[in-house]
Amino acid sequence: MGRLIFVLLDGLNAKTARSCMSFLNALDDAAQISHVTLTSFLPPLSRPLYACLLSGLTPANSGIVRNEDTQLCPAPTFFHQARKVGLTTAAAAYYWFSELCNLSPFNPPRDRLTVNTSLPIAHGLFYSDDAYPDAELFRDAEALRHRVSPDLLLVHSMGIDWAGHCHGGTSVPYTQAVRHADSLLARYLPLWLKEGYSLLITSDHGMDANGNHYDDAPDVRQVPLWQAGPVWKTLPQPASQADIADLVCMALGIPLINQPHDI
């Protein structure tokens, strides 16, 4: 079985990633990682797309079509599959991931720090402030990695999304947040590869100039995806966000979710 770190950079559109993420682009140019552009499903909102990335169900099929749809994901997620075969799972992520995978609604005293091997995400540091600094989030992830040595680790940052909502997707603060995320990856990605992890890095949706991500528009729907590590050489590249959940299972060497993909 392999080990995987899934990095989700919330709100990152493909156009800005191509122009501002110099570290990842350098690795791509050197053929040390692979890169594709995917199209987010409609509606391009975070909670519906989190559910899609986790389970392979599109929003139309999951029934989670609004950010306000507070519920467990209606299908098994790749965290469920990993726990079924005894893998160690962890996440440093926004609290909606706790609600989708573990327990809903989120109860901060109970759920912010999760240590419960009966849950799909057995070890979690879940935040609820959209402005939670990306640097702290990556430190949370690294603390989890040091403490429990997870086989599957989710690293979910909100700094890009927050800057986009506050200032717009073509603003200086938005592009600076993208550069900051790239610099954090320049610090941690080589270490994680050295420790034997494969990496999958992507986004849920992009951001338009007005600070929104609801419309059917390229800046909103086009997102990047990078794959780092030798495991990807033998696996197919995803053609859709609905392919990612099973791709994670393939990288871990665990049973697939086997959900129908409405691509």
Q: What string of DSSP letters covers 195-250?
A: TT-EEEEE-S----TTS---SS-HHHHEEEEEEESGGGGGSPPPSSGGGHHHHHHH
Q: Cα separation of 89 and 144, whole Å?
A: 10
Q: Cα separation of 114 and 136, whole Å?
A: 17
Q: Cα separation of 245 and 259, whole Å?
A: 9
- Asked if the peptide bond before residue 43 counts as cis, ω within 30 degrees of 0, the response is yes
β-partners of residue 227 are: 34, 200
* pTM more than 0.95: yes
Q: What is the pLDDT along the chain (263 residues), one digit of tens a residue?
A: 799 999 999 999 999 999 999 999 999 999 999 999 999 999 999 999 999 999 999 999 999 999 999 999 999 999 999 999 999 999 999 999 999 999 999 999 999 999 999 999 999 999 999 999 999 999 999 999 999 999 999 999 999 999 999 999 999 999 999 999 999 999 999 999 999 999 999 999 999 999 999 999 999 999 999 999 999 999 999 999 999 999 999 999 999 997 444 43
What is the amino acid identity at position 45?
Answer: L
What is the amino acid identity at position 3?
Answer: R
Predicted confidence at residue 23, as pLDDT, reads 98
pLDDT in tens, 59-89: 999 999 999 999 999 999 999 999 999 999 9
Give the E-state strand segments of the chain in sequence order.
4-9, 33-39, 89-94, 113-115, 123-127, 152-157, 198-202, 222-228
CATH for the stretch 4-252: 3.40.720.10
CB-CB contact of 219 with 13 (8 Å): yes
Predicted confidence at residue 1, as pLDDT, reads 74
**Can you read off the two tokens belonging to residue 224?**
């990047």
Predicted confidence at residue 263, as pLDDT, reads 30
Domain ranges of the chain: 4-252
What is the amino acid identity at position 235?
Answer: L
The 8-class DSSP code of residue 151 comes to S
